[in-house]
């Protein structure tokens, strides 16, 4: 099997820099859009045959060094007891928004085997399909980011409604965070037991918090979830990603992940240095640069590889999810560039 | 006149820390909502009597140390030749979006005296009304942020459409940036000649750029506009604000403003140190903390004042605009807290 990704997570020497792309199974691929013509997003998430198909597409088309389970961070939230819909042009809608202690108390902690069997089945099938190819990554939303969606009920530019509840009614907010933490802890554990070989926690919106508030309202919960997973599966790499982590990078590191996912605003060398080079890093090309002509894109890729300096422990990725309008050929070229430019002589 | 704000901009000693609030004339005030019952947003911007009324409301109600002209960063954009509407629940819509060289060429550079006389008249009236009270701040959008709106035609969570044009057709993007830069340069100059005593450039979305792209596609233009203003009015303070500037703070300083506006993710002491304490700073309370109970809010205010360390050159403000749902009494309390806690003994 191609174990370059897992080796990089563990900061071991690799033959070249492994690369995968956040949201690599997505609308920028015609093959994905073809499947979406016959089944909507949630149906694809809940039908193992379709989940497997779209998960494998980028492995085949892009030659990435890892597959990531096709799913959504809100899948377990639906099973906590919220009504989940994806509305065209609007995105996810969770109904009704959680704003009271009673609403928090009504939420359950889903049992993955009973409530999310389609996820675990997809993972089992995928491991079979991927045997001898590349590792499979599982994922969850991190507590703060899930709480943002659950309180707002939809996407928001600043999640000020969620932060308002956090400030006005911290007992409700923290009760919700506890319940989410329990949910994602057992969910990540179940994904690993079903076969994923690494797990990524997406904390997309935690970058909206000041240092004080991240320390108080986000860090303790994600740290608890990561500890839970690491205790049960000490050898399984955990990746922790925040969008806009510049002012909280040192705090983020305290969550204890194996790999830190960096957004594109960081200079990778500066950020890695700030982390004391003690942890692997993943990132961090601006997804919008995939619109550049390929000769310009190549310079950007080279720049990031140069900043990583060939040190063990760099996984190439975008700094945020790939955009639906991305030219497919540039995504393919990106993976090829990373492989070619980073290959060690003689390897 | 209360000149504490202007003194702080110039890093001179003040009797206490001056404070004003971004979007201080806004929906969180009943008095503002009353006016909006009879006139929509753009009408208020274009009718000097109404503009003057809402501009003065926070001076009277909150006791802030500066007034800021009530207007919108898109007002001059409409006069460049785009159709501007504010649609409820959606925000500003500019039609049609600028995506071709022809569209850029069709745009004009408005003459403020001819095309924006209502702004200049409002400023002249306000200076009379404010005489002996507090200084008046004018403002403009910075080129990158205005380009984002003009290319997207509406608000966006990541302005990836604007960045796409920037990467795919840099000649169109930079031609647009040149035209915007000229527009805001003469517009800021006209505002100052009409009477504003300081001017703020809002570059809200520049924090979406990597260091490389900020340096290439945003900094040269805002720097040019600031130079233009400073050359003509060397004594008028210029404030430059970006939301999410953590990774580009040193570059942002190169734009040459008198004051750097900091968002709430920065620790004010760390950021000021990064700036070499050579420039005044404005900020940086998280707008959401205005939902805290007042005793908790007080701790946040004290924390920022402590980080500023009583050094000359700190203007207290939020780290982003005040939210419409903010409790009015907390905004009033905030200003009082800043004044009380920062007042020098004997002053």
* pLDDT tens digits for range B90-128: 899 999 999 999 999 999 999 999 999 999 999 999 999
DSSP string, A245-310: -GGGHHHHHTT--SEEE--TTS-HHHHHHHTTT-SEEEEEE-GGGGGS-HHHHHHHHHHHHHHHTT
Tell me which chain A residue has its CA closest to the CA of residue B287: A160
* Contact state of B265 with A292 under an 8 Å Cβ cutoff: no
Residue A106, chain B, CB below 8 Å: the answer is no
Q: How confident is the model at residue B346 (pLDDT cuts 50, 70, 90)?
A: low
* Contact state of A289 with B160 under an 8 Å Cβ cutoff: no
Scan residues 237-256 of B and list those with Cβ closer than 8 Å to A. Answer: 244, 246-248
DSSP string, B260-327: EE--TTS-HHHHHHHTTT-SEEEEEE-GGGGGS-HHHHHHHHHHHHHHHTT-S-EEEEESSPPPTTS-
Q: In the prediction, which pLDDT does A347 show?
A: 53
| pLDDT average, residue stretch B148-176 | 97
Scan residues 27-86 of B and list those with Cβ closer than 8 Å to A. Answer: none
**C-alpha span between B158 and B145 (Å, rounded):** 12
Count of structural domains, chain B = 1
Q: In the prediction, which pLDDT does B89 show?
A: 82
* Contact state of B207 with A265 under an 8 Å Cβ cutoff: yes
Which chain A positions have a beta carbon within 8 Å of B155's beta carbon?
Answer: 157
- Is residue A215 assigned to a domain? yes
* Contact state of B265 with A247 under an 8 Å Cβ cutoff: yes
Tell me which chain A residue has its CA closest to the CA of residue B248: A265
Tell me which chain B residue has its CA closest to the CA of residue A155: B157
Residue B23, chain A, CB below 8 Å: the answer is no
Of A246, A265, A323, the CB nearest to B160: A323
| pLDDT average, residue stretch B209-213 | 98
How far does A233 lie from chain B, in Å, by closest CA? 34
Q: In the prediction, which pLDDT does A299 show?
A: 98
| β-sheet bridge partners, residue B317 | B284
Would the pLDDT of B321 be above 80?
Answer: yes
- Is residue A347 assigned to a domain? no
Q: How confident is the model at residue B218 (pLDDT cuts 50, 70, 90)?
A: very high
Residue A147, chain B, CB below 8 Å: the answer is no
- Is residue B347 assigned to a domain? no
**Is the separation of the CB atoms in A247 and B266 below 8 Å?**
yes
- The candidate with the shortest Cα–Cα distance to B268, out of B320, B211, B309, B297, is B309
* pLDDT tens digits for range B130-140: 998 999 999 99
What residue ranges of chain A have pLDDT lower than 50? none
CATH number at residue B27: 3.20.20.210
* Contact state of B167 with A289 under an 8 Å Cβ cutoff: yes
Of A164, A244, A286, the CB nearest to B288: A164
| pLDDT average, residue stretch B18-27 | 97
Domain that holds residue A191: 4-342
ipTM summary value: 0.95
- Is residue B83 assigned to a domain? yes
How far does A191 lie from chain B, in Å, by closest CA? 31
Q: In the prediction, which pLDDT does B88 show?
A: 86
Among A144, A162, A167, most B C-beta atoms within 10 A, so best to mutate, is A167
């Amino acid at each position: 099997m191609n174990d370059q990704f897992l080796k990089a997570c563990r900061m071991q020497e690799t033959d070249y820099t492994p690369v995968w792309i956040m949201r690599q199974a997505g609308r920028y691929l015609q093959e994905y859009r073809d499947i979406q013509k016959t089944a909507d997003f949630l149906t694809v998430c809940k039908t193992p045959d379709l989940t497997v198909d779209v998960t494998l597409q980028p492995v085949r088309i892009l030659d990435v060094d890892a597959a990531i389970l096709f799913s959504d961070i809100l899948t377990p939230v639906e099973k906590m007891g919220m009504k989940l819909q994806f509305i065209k042009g609007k995105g996810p809608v969770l109904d009704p928004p959680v704003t009271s202690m009673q609403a928090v108390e009504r939420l359950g902690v889903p049992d993955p085997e009973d409530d999310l069997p389609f996820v675990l089945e997809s993972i089992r099938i995928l491991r079979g399909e991927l045997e001898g190819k590349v590792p499979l990554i599982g994922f969850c939303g991190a507590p703060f980011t899930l709480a943002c969606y659950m309180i707002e009920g939809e996407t928001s530019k600043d999640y000020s409604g969620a932060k308002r509840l956090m400030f006005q009614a911290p007992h409700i907010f923290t009760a919700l965070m506890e319940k989410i933490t329990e949910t994602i802890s057992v969910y990540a554990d179940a994904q690993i037991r079903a076969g994923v070989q690494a797990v990524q926690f997406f904390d997309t919106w935690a970058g909206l918090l000041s240092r004080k508030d991240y320390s108080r309202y986000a860090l303790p919960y994600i740290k608890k979830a990561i500890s839970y997973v690491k205790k049960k599966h000490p050898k399984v790499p955990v990746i922790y990603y925040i969008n806009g982590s510049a002012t909280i990078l040192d705090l983020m590191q305290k969550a204890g992940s194996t790999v830190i996912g960096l957004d594109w605003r960081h200079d990778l060398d500066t950020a890695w240095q700030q982390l004391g080079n003690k942890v692997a890093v993943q990132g961090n090309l601006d997804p919008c640069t995939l619109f550049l002509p390929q000769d310009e894109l190549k310079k950007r890729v080279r720049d990031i590889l140069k900043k990583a300096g060939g040190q063990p422990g760099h996984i190439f990725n975008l700094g945020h999810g790939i955009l639906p309008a991305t030219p497919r050929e540039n995504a393919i070229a990106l993976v090829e560039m990373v492989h070619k430019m980073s290959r060690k002589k003689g390897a």
